[in-house]
Amino acid sequence: MTSPLMTLDRIDKSFSGQHVLQNISLNLTQGEITTLIGPNGAGKSTLVRIVLGLLAPDSGSVTASKSLKIGYMPQKLHIDPTLPISTYRFLQLANASYQVCHSALASVGIAHLAKTPIQKLSGGEMQRVLLARAILRKPNLLVLDEPVQGVDINGQNALYKMIGSLSKSLNCAVLMVSHDLHLVMSATDQVICLNHHICCQGRPEQVTKDPAYLDIFGQTALYAHHHDHQHSVHGEVLDRNGVHRHGEGCDHD
């Protein structure tokens, strides 16, 4: 059995006397994608900062492999629109060679944008640039904080597929923060549902049926695809207004 790259054991963290994380235990294992979900204010960002080593827990332990090398992708990055910088030069700020930068851009499918001013990139293209920057050093742990922020539905699906492919090609662990479990179901191995403590965890198909998950997300946990409808967490077909279409099914995978 593969040893975890990082183990968090009974982590607690408070700010100004308010518990943000309580009794958090998890393993991040090479080759496995872990998706962290939860409502706003659930402690997801705090947990990510502890994994990155930017925060120390109040109690509990963090054990990391000596070989641990982390790549991090933030939700978004504000770049001054007056800054004259190309996509390639932006990556080179991380002290990476031309070959390393080009290889990373090729890995995320945007090598042709190397000379494009970064301010002219679309939302989806910019997310790919941030992903390219995260993999420059060939990390064995990728931490991705809502990697599809500001990307349309087709772009989201493409990015999640790419993350799955990168996990395999780099043979790295992935810790990914997401708000929509249904969109990442096919691209994740383990789901952790967080609301200051771990409410439930397991395979995505198990978590979506867990009472703790349904209690937090309820009927608002919808996912959409290219059809003209949505689904409730129970698999019911809904129209664009969220109204149940009685007697209708769906023929997608």
Q: From CA 142, how far away is CA 41, in angstroms rounded?
A: 23
* Percent of the chain residues past pLDDT 70, beyond the cut: 86
Q: From CA 168, how far away is CA 116, in angstroms rounded?
A: 29
pLDDT at 62 over 90: yes
For the residues 39-60, what does the mean pLDDT come to?
95
Q: From CA 252, how far away is CA 249, in angstroms rounded?
A: 9
For the residues 223-248, what does the mean pLDDT come to?
41
**CATH code of the domain covering residue 58:** 3.40.50.300
At 25, the pLDDT band (50, 70, 90 cuts) reads: very high
Domain count for the chain: 1
The residue segments making up the domain with residue 30 are: 1-69+139-205
Cα torsion for 204, 205, 211, 214, to the nearest 10°? 70
For CA atoms 131, 137, 138, 143, the dihedral sign is: negative
* Overall pTM > 0.85: no
Q: From CA 140, how far away is CA 123, in angstroms rounded?
A: 26
Q: What is the pLDDT of residues 68-93, one digit of tens each?
A: 999 999 988 888 888 889 999 999 99
pLDDT at 216 over 90: no
Q: Does residue 225 sit within a domain?
A: no
Q: Does residue 2 sit within a domain?
A: yes
